[in-house]
Chain A
Amino acid sequence: MNSSRRYFLKVAGLSAFALAGGAGAAMAAGSAPAPAGRGSYEASEKALKAGRWAMVIDTRKLNTVERMRKVIDACHKYHNVPDIPGTQEVKWLWDDTYHHAFSDEVHPVLPTRVEESRFFMLCNHCENPSCVRVCPVKATYKTEQGLVAIDYHRCIGCRFCMAACPYGSRSFNFQDPRPFIKDLNPAYPTRMRGVVEKCTFCAERLEKGLLPVCVEASEGAILFGDLRDPDSVVSKALAENYSIRRKPSLGTDPGVYYII
């Protein structure tokens, strides 16, 4: 079981226990509440499962600043990503030019469409993540389904993972992020000063059987599914369209594919 989920369930269990304790006094005469046993929690049946989660971004459909802004806002709002101006910013999903996104593709001439397009950047949830390899406290780790997650409660803020990620996917909370969250989403936790954060591929939504926020907001331009399942939407999309990934030569095996 992945440990962020374990943590969540622990908290949920404790709250349930506290509630039951309170209620217990009131219904002392009634039947005794079932004892809160250890490890008696089960994953939701609705949870989406995969051998290896992957994302396919159809950049032919989604490439303008305005439309991408909407998706980015949806992600950042949902995850309480602070809006910090300047170079100490925090971002999970953002857009940039072809030359910045695919910096080792040095074509002198590109179709105008590509030259003028914007491209999403986010954590690639690499199969062979260098960020996980370097973390000295196992605060960042890979789940069985191929997600790269961060335990914000264990992170010591050494930022080795930021040096190790060749995609610049990670942000550090140089300050308390909370004052910079305009419209707080109470359903998702905020982070604290001094820890690293990044895109989670919406691990917590997958547990509830929901697709990532950006996938929903993209109106079909971002596909999400199991790379190991040949019938999944992503496998099919990749089989039918030529796609590229960012810096594949580094051996990280990124899980985000771009159809150009």
Chain B
Amino acid sequence: MLERVLKGTPKFYLWLSFLLCIIGYAFIVYVFQLCYGLKITGLSRNISWGFYIAQFTYLVGVAAGAVMLVLPAYFHHYKPFKRVIIFGEFLAIGAVVMCMLFIVVDMGQPQRVLNMFLHPTPNSVMFWDATVLLGYLFLNAIIGWTTLEAERYDVNPPRWIKYLVYLSIFWAFSIHTVTGFLYAGLPGRHYWLTAVMAARFLASAFCSGPALLLLLLFLLKKLTKFDPGKAVVRPLSLIITYAMGINVFLYCLELFTAFYSGIPGHADPIVFLFMGHEGVDAWVNGWMWTAVVFAFASLILLITPRFRTNDKILPWALIMLFIATWIDKSLGLLIGGFTPTPYETIEIYTPSFWEISVGLGIFALGALIVSVLWKIALDVKKEAGEEFELSE
């Protein structure tokens, strides 16, 4: 099926070349990072994780979000989702690849990455994270490819695929739970040391992943006329609404524990994130408030049926939701975990230009993978005679 990539419109190739340019540029920056070390980033001794690990964390959520299509389709036999499941699975593949690259570029000695499997260490959550991510990548690749192949020949997918799909549903929950455990088990990092961390991660994933998917599907409709259909958009936006509601609720639980208990360790990072420290503003303050405003604005739009079912307004609500969750679960999460430092001092981390450059390259590569995979899926659907425009 790969040969389909060779038959595209000039616009498609222009898009791919554009992405390749960004990837090329980022690669050069990365080579510099390899030669000179992570000193080209904004990281420091006290804030030793930043932009890279933040993106990794967020993208695991995007990958896990695909399950919000698969679960209703397979557990509840909600047929209409099957029309777009392949896009969710391919988006997950792109997201997982980006996750892995973000981990690798964050390493000081990336050529030793295989040490993780040469010296497997079951007591390290990082080992489990790498393992489940790899597993999720394979699961999605096998399931996506096989079902697409079946669609192409107009036959039913093999029976064993169903078991893999069930497995992938549990797997999706596991990848983000394990990512939550990366943070939630560290003594002394108060902002992270919370039992609801994994639950928050999942809630955030189940709104942000589908939100990105819907936005991309809307874009796809504009570009190719492939209409996901109301039977997909309506229930999915409802799922997103509930997940976002739970996500915001869980964050408020953190606020209660931190401020009602009055334990400084719990409150300090939150105070720093939103108010700075003793009159010192950090850029992250404006950033966090943006997330708050966007989170509530998107929730209001999503909860109100009139707005949620309005195709003009829905994308805006989703964009705001995406930005809000991205701020909360990427840099907000990381900076909150590292500030104040273990000696109760305040240090302000800002990602460097080079760090962001490398990150952009990884995003571009993810976009490239998703573009190519989605094009294949679309072509197969077209050939199989699937209706693109739905009359509703």
- By a beta-carbon cutoff of 8 Å, the part of chain A in contact with chain B is 86-91, 96, 99-101, 103-104, 106, 121, 130, 133-139, 154-160, 162-168, 171-176, 193-196, 247, 250-252
Known contacts A87-B46, A88-B39; decide if A134 and B124 are in contact (CB<8 Å): yes
The answer on a CB contact under 8 Å between B121 and A195 is no
Cα separation A255 to B335 with both chains bound (whole Å): 29
The answer on a CB contact under 8 Å between A130 and B187 is yes
Residue of B nearest to A130 (CB): B187
The answer to whether the Cβ of B113 comes within 8 Å of any Cβ in the partner chain is: yes
The answer on a CB contact under 8 Å between B108 and A193 is yes
Partner of B116, one of A96, A137, A159, A173: A137
The answer on a CB contact under 8 Å between B341 and A168 is yes
Known contacts A158-B106, A195-B108; decide if A99 and B347 are in contact (CB<8 Å): no
Partner of B37, one of A138, A175, A247: A175
The answer to whether the Cβ of B303 comes within 8 Å of any Cβ in the partner chain is: no
Within 8 A of A (CB), among B101-124: 103, 106-110, 112-113, 115-116, 118-119, 121, 123-124
**Contact flags (1/0) for B166-193 with A, using CB distance below 8 Å?**
0000000000000000100111110000
The answer on a CB contact under 8 Å between B188 and A156 is no
Please tell me the number of chain B residues within 8 Å of chain A, measured between CB atoms. 46
Partner of B107, one of A89, A133, A157, A171: A157
The answer to whether the Cβ of B337 comes within 8 Å of any Cβ in the partner chain is: yes
The answer on a CB contact under 8 Å between B342 and A167 is yes
Interface of A is mostly: loop
Known contacts A157-B109, A174-B37; decide if A103 and B344 are in contact (CB<8 Å): yes
Known contacts A133-B124, A134-B124, A154-B115; decide if A172 and B342 are in contact (CB<8 Å): no
Residue of B nearest to A193 (CB): B37
The answer on a CB contact under 8 Å between A194 and B109 is yes
Cα separation A162 to B189 with both chains bound (whole Å): 11
The answer on a CB contact under 8 Å between A156 and B115 is yes
Partner of B343, one of A103, A137, A164: A103
Cα separation A86 to B347 with both chains bound (whole Å): 12
Which residues of chain B come closer than 8 Å to A134, judged between CB atoms? 124-126, 185-186
The answer on a CB contact under 8 Å between A88 and B112 is no
The answer on a CB contact under 8 Å between A160 and B124 is yes
The answer to whether the Cβ of B224 comes within 8 Å of any Cβ in the partner chain is: no
The answer on a CB contact under 8 Å between A135 and B46 is no
Q: Give min CB distance, A51 to chain B, whole Å.
A: 23
The answer on a CB contact under 8 Å between B108 and A194 is yes
The answer on a CB contact under 8 Å between B347 and A172 is no
The answer on a CB contact under 8 Å between A130 and B186 is yes
Q: Give min CB distance, A180 to chain B, whole Å.
A: 11
**Selected A-B contacts with CB under 8 Å, 23 pairs:** A87-B46, A88-B39, A88-B44, A90-B45, A106-B264, A134-B126, A136-B124, A137-B116, A137-B119, A138-B119, A155-B109, A156-B108, A156-B112, A159-B49, A160-B182, A163-B186, A163-B337, A164-B186, A168-B341, A174-B39, A175-B37, A194-B38, A194-B108
